[in-house]
Amino acid sequence: MEKLRVGVVGLRRGMAHFKNFLSLEDVQVIGAADRFPERRKAAQQTLDAMGASGVKIMAEYDELLAMKPDAVCVATHGKLQCQHGCQAMEAGVHVLSEVPGSYTMDEWVRLRDAVQRTGMIYMMGENSSFLDFLRYWRKWLIEGRLGEISIAEAEYLHHLPASLQLPDGSRLSPTEAKARGVANAVPIWRADQPPIQYLTHDLGPLLEVLDDRVVSVSCRNAPWRCVDAPLRTDGQIALFETAKGVLFKVMVTFNTKRPFEHRYMLYGTEGSAEWFQSERWCRRSLKDSPHSRWERVAISQAAASDVASGHGGTDYKVARHFVDTVLHGKPNPVDVYRAIEYSLPGMIANRSAELGGAPLSIPDLRVAPFTGTRFWDIVGLPEAEPEVVAG
């Protein structure tokens, strides 16, 4: 196989994947599917702008699978991703899936079993795990410069009031719908999704840094006060325990008005590190730091060599690693078992919140015990130290 024949389903979030696959020399994009005409039109405009030809744009996923691609990128919404992923694997097609991958634990079992039964490759496209500063954090941890990690934190802050969708696929808030007299809008899939179930961007990256998995959780709901998202709590805070005994807090809010960002924090016995997306640089205080103040270091989403194409180049890395796995036989950085460990804890956390914060165990759906991450063997760690720009 000289080129991987790829199709993309879902051209909202999937447009970034569509462009990245078009840019890869060892990929032939054969088609893309979306039921909304405006998104199909945008895909055709992208093809025209890139001078690409021979790509069929269609409405139905079944039509895309009938073209017999080698692989598909599933970028439909979270309540359809399991169905579409399983459908592809049963047809002998490899799968790159957007997050969260599944909506329930039963769906994760279904996906896991489909991988085992069909032998197809399934990779979760969790782009945040490829953020460049994480490579340095892992390096410092291995070198002992953070000591033992006792506490980890992550936060996902994203104001999403547009919880309704019009027939053409465009979105608006209930306040806007009322002001405009719109009567034909329906809730989007995330309108009633518990926020903590969308935690893979926050949990997954730090699990790789820690080389760990979470085993139990207690979670609580914030109030339900946002008038533009009345079907979901304004936020949730989950407190996980990992297999190595780390206390791991994750907060997700989509209803509170504030600038978008992810935040990641490590608290070690000998040092600490943190990164806030709004600042785009890292703070650290390591075991061998010359003073007790924070040092500011020049590491962020992307490395200097990264291709800048979506989320600081991380979307490109997802596409590149998926192609390397399927076409070139390289290891899968986020296989179905690791994807489960990124996503399932959010589902169990929400169940804990429904029970008033009752502690719950997180089931292990692996067929063999977790023996450690291989993510960094695939992605690689930096050799040089980053520049200290203040401190």
Asked whether residue 283 falls in the same domain as residue 171, the answer is yes
Asked whether residue 115 falls in the same domain as residue 146, the answer is no
Residue linked to tokens 């080389």: 211
Domain that holds residue 294: 129-302+335-390
Asked whether residue 383 falls in the same domain as residue 283, the answer is yes
Asked whether residue 88 falls in the same domain as residue 213, the answer is no
Please enumerate in sequence order all residues whose Cβ is within 8 A of that of 172, keeping only pairs 6 or more positions apart, or say none.
162, 164, 166, 180, 182, 185
The secondary structure of 72-86 as a DSSP string is: EEE-S-TTTHHHHHH
**Residue 322 falls within a domain, yes or no?**
no
Asked whether residue 94 falls in the same domain as residue 164, the answer is no
Q: Quick one: tokens of 54?
A: 């021979």
Predicted pLDDT of residue 312? 76
Q: Quick one: tokens of 58?
A: 């269609």
Q: Quick one: tokens of 166?
A: 């019009």
**Residue 191 falls within a domain, yes or no?**
yes
Q: Quick one: tokens of 384?
A: 């040089």
CA distance 277 to 263: 6
**Residue 329 falls within a domain, yes or no?**
no
**Residue 314 falls within a domain, yes or no?**
no
Q: Quick one: tokens of 123?
A: 């990779």
**Residue 56 falls within a domain, yes or no?**
yes
Q: 242: left (phi > 0), else alpha (psi -120 to 50), else beta? A: beta
Asked whether residue 91 falls in the same domain as residue 179, the answer is no
Q: Quick one: tokens of 16?
A: 């970034």
Among 120, 147, 178, the domain boundary falls at: 120
Quote the number of domains for the chain: 2
Among 120, 142, 163, the domain boundary falls at: 120
Q: Quick one: tokens of 275?
A: 């990164």
**Residue 94: which CATH number?**
3.40.50.720
Pairing assessment for the beta strands 122-124 and 94-97 based on DSSP bridges: parallel
**Residue 150: which CATH number?**
3.30.360.10
Q: Could you say which DSSP state residue 12 is in?
A: S
Predicted pLDDT of residue 202? 98
Predicted pLDDT of residue 308? 59
Asked whether residue 211 falls in the same domain as residue 350, the answer is yes
CA distance 73 to 22: 13
Asked whether residue 93 falls in the same domain as residue 196, the answer is no
Write a three-state SS string for 224-275.
CCCCCCCCCCCCEEEEEEECCCCEEEEEEECCCCCCCEEEEEEEECCCEEEE
- Helix or strand (DSSP H, E) at 9: strand 4-9
Q: In this structure, which amino acid lies at residue 182?
A: V
The secondary structure of 150-203 as a DSSP string is: EEEEEEEE------EE-TTS-EE-HHHHHHHT--S-EE-GGGGS-GGGG-HHHH
Among 88, 120, 152, the domain boundary falls at: 120
**Residue 107 falls within a domain, yes or no?**
yes
pLDDT in single tens digits along all 391 residues of the chain: 699 999 999 999 999 999 999 999 999 999 999 999 999 999 999 999 999 999 999 999 999 999 999 999 999 999 999 999 999 999 999 999 999 999 999 999 999 999 999 999 999 999 999 999 999 999 999 999 999 999 999 999 999 999 999 999 999 999 999 999 999 999 999 999 999 999 999 999 999 999 999 999 999 999 999 999 999 999 999 999 999 999 999 999 999 999 999 999 999 999 999 999 999 899 999 999 888 899 999 999 987 677 656 677 899 999 999 999 999 999 999 999 999 999 999 999 999 999 999 999 999 999 999 999 999 999 999 999 999 998 7
Asked whether residue 77 falls in the same domain as residue 215, the answer is no
pTM above 0.85, yes or no: yes
**Residue 113 falls within a domain, yes or no?**
yes
Asked whether residue 112 falls in the same domain as residue 163, the answer is no
Asked whether residue 267 falls in the same domain as residue 147, the answer is yes
Asked whether residue 113 falls in the same domain as residue 237, the answer is no
96 pairs with which residues across the strands?
73, 123
Please enumerate in sequence order all residues whose Cβ is within 8 A of that of 49, keeping only pairs 6 or more positions apart, or say none.
none
**Residue 308 falls within a domain, yes or no?**
no
Nearest to 337 by CA among 360, 317, 361, 363: 363
The answer to whether 365 touches 344, Cβ cutoff 8 Å, is yes
